[in-house]
Amino acid sequence: MTSRTYDAAGRRAAAAYNRRAVLDAGLELLLRDGYQATTIRAVAERAGVSPELIYKTFKNKQGLMKGVYDRAVAGDDLQVAVGARPEIAAIWALRDPGEKLLAYAAFVAGVMHRLGGLLAVLTEADPEIAELRATTDAERLTGVGAFVAHLAEQGVLRADLPVGRATDACWALTSPQLFAQLTGARGWPQDVYVGWLAGVLEASLTADC
């Protein structure tokens, strides 16, 4: 029994190591060459694994890109949903609405900062990228919707603002495109973006108009 336990632990450790190596290689090649030019074979060679292992783990190149994206969003290799993470629970636990929105804005900025160059990859004109972009947009809408519902449950959301409309507004304001425009094209420091986003969210979602 002990030997089998060690064997299972060893297999899990090897699988985790290979997954990290593939995601590292995928990120490097995606940022360097773009989505269209990045091949499964090239990623496999860079990671020191077989192409078959990548297909078994991620199914296809789109699945690999999604894996790279998900790890950037989470900030680590733990396969735990973002909504179930301690940093989200800490935001939920804040009582002061201003502090809650500021913490949420900082969380959004952290995610966007980790995505970095992947934001440019996601703008490529490729049908698979368009499908992936639709998936990530839908996932982000779900996460934003959970935050707005939390504000409503806490009595923070404006009474005259429907939850659906508030969710759409928050989803647009926290978009990767807007982050890239302000911090990249316009050169805003990240802390300036955080303060601006918190203020806009407070004015849009909680202030009387």
Question: How many domains does the chain fold into?
Answer: 2
* 153 and 182, same domain (yes or no): yes
Q: What pLDDT, on a 0 to 100 scale, did the predictor assign at position 6?
A: 57
* 75 and 85, same domain (yes or no): no
Q: What pLDDT, on a 0 to 100 scale, did the predictor assign at position 79?
A: 77
Interior/surface letters 9-21, b for 16+ CB within 10 angstroms, e for the rest: eeeeeeeeebbeb
* 187 and 153, same domain (yes or no): yes
- For residue 78, give Cα distances in angstroms to 22, 41, 67, 132, 180: 15, 25, 12, 21, 26
- List the one residue out of 165, 184, 35 whose CA is nearest residue 109: 184
Query: φ and ψ at 93, to 5 degrees?
Result: -75, -15
Question: Tokens in use for 64?
Answer: 């690999």
* 75 and 103, same domain (yes or no): no
Q: What pLDDT, on a 0 to 100 scale, did the predictor assign at position 76?
A: 85
Residue numbers of the chain with a pLDDT score lower than 50:
209
Task: Examine the fold and report which residue of 64, 79, 94 is the final residue of a domain before the chain moves on.
Answer: 79
CATH number at residue 108: 1.10.357
* 62 and 161, same domain (yes or no): no
Contacts of 70 (CB under 8 A, 6+ apart): none
Full-model pTM: 0.87
Question: Measured between alpha carbons, how far is 142 from 171 in angstroms, rounded to an integer?
Answer: 9
Q: Which domain does 152 fall in, by range?
A: 80-209
Task: Examine the fold and report which residue of 79, 104, 133 is the final residue of a domain before the chain moves on.
Answer: 79
Helix (H), strand (E), coil (C) string for the chain = CHHHHHHHHHHHHHHHHHHHHHHHHHHHHHHHHCCCCCCHHHHHHHHCCCHHHHHHHHCCHHHHHHHHHHHHHHCCCCCCCHHHCHHHHHHHHCCCHHHHHHHHHHHHHHHHHHHCCHHHHCCCCCHHHHHHHHHHHHHHHHHHHHHHHHHHHCCCCCCCCCHHHHHHHHHHHCCHHHHHHHHHHCCCCHHHHHHHHHHHHHHHHCCCC
* 181 and 157, same domain (yes or no): yes
* 72 and 129, same domain (yes or no): no
* 123 and 72, same domain (yes or no): no
* 129 and 166, same domain (yes or no): yes
Q: What pLDDT, on a 0 to 100 scale, did the predictor assign at position 9?
A: 81
* 121 and 139, same domain (yes or no): yes
Task: Examine the fold and report which residue of 52, 79, 106 is the final residue of a domain before the chain moves on.
Answer: 79
Length of the chain: 209
Question: Tokens in use for 15?
Answer: 């699988």
* 42 and 113, same domain (yes or no): no
Q: Check if the beta carbon of residue 26 is closer than 8 Å to that of residue 64.
A: yes
Q: Check if the beta carbon of residue 118 is closer than 8 Å to that of residue 68.
A: yes
CATH number at residue 54: 1.10.357.10
* 111 and 18, same domain (yes or no): no
